[in-house]
């Protein structure tokens, strides 16, 4: 058993309370490799932003859970070396799907876990979430739960609406599970294709897709039922068109990729939404930078010469999110 406290990590309780009071959101960035982690820590240290490092099942399979945890431990020291005296770094399990995986992360030094029972029937979601909360809270590890199903690109609009979080369920769910934060479904979804072209309009000047707005009425209703309760938004990448264009210019093929407009995330960050999950944008930044180097310097074969620019691009992206979208800069001096 390793306590995250010995590793210099923090849980989400205090960061969320401050974020709600202060009208900003904490960035939750996924990481799978060293370059992403370096970029996240550099951006957070330079802006003095609290940060959540997220580890998904895909990341655990790709990089190994043990190695990722040691990397996060190293990240605390790296942050201090960068001059961040009191780093506020949370190590979080993203989309945990069983009690066992959540327990193994709690036992191994994670400071926060998500149990995603959103695809289960309501009562089963409650039962599983409650079990994880009871275990995690013994070690002061915070727990994120999910209610409502994030839309998949294959769903039609009708189906998406019926998967939004039902505000009438949230009091019962939060009370019976004891979860510390709640991920809700208001129209975001994972990946770089968040909406089908037929759900969007087209900007007549650029020809780019303009997605429909998020369901802020659902968010408002949830906040009314659970005043001051930490709300989480998954699937919150904006899919910057400049990265999509670079990727497509240099041999990629991402037709009609579309994300959540930044102004909608800015609005959400000012509300009880205090954790905003971003993964795809980092993948796009990395891929755009690598494709550019490959196209412009075909003789290059030193991975540092293309992973380095990718890391720089991701650092720029993370700083932009922190300062211009979430407003979490300067909140962890
Ligand atoms: O929740 C989705 C995250 O972007 C993680 O994705 O399972 O491919 O690592 P992944
Ligand atoms: P994006 O695919 O929009 O980056 O969402 C990531 C996420 O929600 C991770 O849990
Ligand atoms: Zn997610």
Ligand 2 binding pocket includes 234 (Cβ within 6 Å): yes
Each residue of 248-274: pLDDT tens digit?
A: 999 999 999 999 999 999 999 999 999
Does ligand 2 have an atom closer than 6 angstroms to the CB of 36? no
User: How many domains are there within the chain?
Assistant: 1
Q: To test the ligand 1 pocket, which listed residue (68, 190, 259, 286) has its Cβ within 8 A of the most ligand atoms?
A: 190
Q: Is residue 123 one of the residues assigned to a domain?
A: yes
State the pairing for strand pair 201-202/181-184: unpaired
94 is catalytic: yes
Answer whether residue 251 is part of any domain: no
In a domain, 304, yes or no: no
Question: Tell me: the pLDDT tens digits for 37-87?
Answer: 999 999 999 999 999 999 999 999 999 999 999 999 999 999 999 999 999
Number of continuous H segments (helices) and E segments (strands) in the chain: 13, 10
- Identified catalytic residue from 21, 94, 97, 220: 94
What are the residues whose beta carbons fall under 8 Å from the beta carbon of 297, sequence distance 6 or more?
A: 305
Burial 79-107 (b: 16+ CB within 10 A, else e): beeeebeebbbbbbbbbbbebebbbbbbe
In a domain, 288, yes or no: no
Per DSSP, 7 falls in state G
Q: Which residues line ligand 1 (CB under 6 A)?
A: 30, 56-59, 94-95, 190, 279
Residue 159 has pLDDT above 60, yes or no: no
Residue 310, ligand 2, Cβ within 6 A: no
Provide the residue range defining the domain that includes 118. Answer: 4-195+212-238+258-280+314-326
CB 289, CB 39: distance < 8 Å: no
Protein residue with its CA nearest to atom 10 in ligand 1: 58
**Per-residue pLDDT tens over the stretch 113-138:** 999 999 999 999 999 999 999 999 99
Q: Which helix (H) or strand (E) holds 308?
A: helix 303-320
Angle at 137 between CA 132 and CA 143, to 5 degrees: 55
Q: What is the Cα–Cα distance from 89 to 84, expressed in whole angstroms?
A: 11
Identify which ligand lies nearest to the alpha carbon of 277. 2
The answer to whether residue 156 scores a pLDDT higher than 60 is: no
Q: Are 305 and 290 in contact (CB under 8 A)?
A: no
d(CA 98, ligand 3 centre) in Å: 15
Query: Does residue 333 sit within a domain?
Result: no
Q: Please indicate, yes or no, whether the overall pTM of this predicted structure exceeds 0.85.
A: yes
150 CB near ligand 2 (under 6 Å): no
Q: Residue 207: inside a domain, yes or no? A: no
156 lies in a domain?
yes
Q: Are strands 231-233 and 181-184 parallel, antiparallel or unpaired?
A: parallel
Residue 331 within any structural domain of the chain: no
Q: Give the CATH number for residue 132.
A: 3.20.20.70
């Amino acid at each position: 058993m390793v306590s995250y406290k010995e590793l210099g990590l923090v849980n989400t309780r205090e960061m969320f309370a401050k974020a709600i009071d202060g009208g900003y959101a904490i960035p939750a960035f996924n990481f799978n490799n060293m370059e992403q982690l370096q970029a996240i820590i550099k951006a957070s240290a330079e802006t003095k932003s609290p940060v959540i490092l997220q580890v998904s099942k895909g990341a655990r399979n790709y990089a190994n859970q043990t190695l990722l945890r040691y990397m996060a431990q190293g990240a605390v020291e790296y942050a201090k070396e960068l001059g961040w005296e009191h780093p506020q770094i949370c190590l979080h399990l993203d989309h945990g799907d069983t009690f066992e995986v959540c327990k193994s992360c709690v036992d191994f030094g994670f400071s926060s876990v998500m149990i995603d029972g959103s695809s289960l029937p309501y009562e089963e979601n409650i039962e599983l979430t409650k079990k994880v909360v009871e275990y995690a809270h013994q070690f002061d590890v915070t727990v994120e739960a999910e209610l409502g199903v994030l839309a998949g690109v294959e769903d039609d609009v009708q189906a998406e609406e019926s998967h939004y979080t039902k505000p009438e369920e949230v009091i019962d769910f939060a009370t019976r599970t004891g979860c510390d934060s709640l991920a809700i479904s208001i129209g975001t979804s994972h990946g770089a294709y968040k909406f089908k072209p037929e759900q969007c309009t087209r900007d007549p000047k650029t020809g780019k897709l303009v997605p429909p707005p998020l369901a802020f009425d659902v968010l408002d209703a949830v906040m009314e039922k659970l005043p001051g309760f930490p709300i989480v938004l998954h699937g919150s990448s904006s899919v910057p068109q400049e990265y999509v264009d670079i990727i497509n210019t240099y041999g990629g093929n991402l037709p009609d990729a579309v994300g959540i407009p930044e102004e909608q995330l800015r609005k959400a960050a000012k509300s009880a939404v205090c954790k905003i999950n971003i993964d795809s944008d980092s993948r796009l930044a990395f891929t755009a930078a690598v494709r550019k180097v490959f196209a412009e310097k075909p003789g290059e074969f030193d991975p540092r010469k293309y992973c380095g620019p990718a890391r720089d691009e991701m650092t720029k992206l993370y700083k932009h999110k922190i300062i211009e979208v979430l407003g979490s800069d300067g909140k962890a001096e």
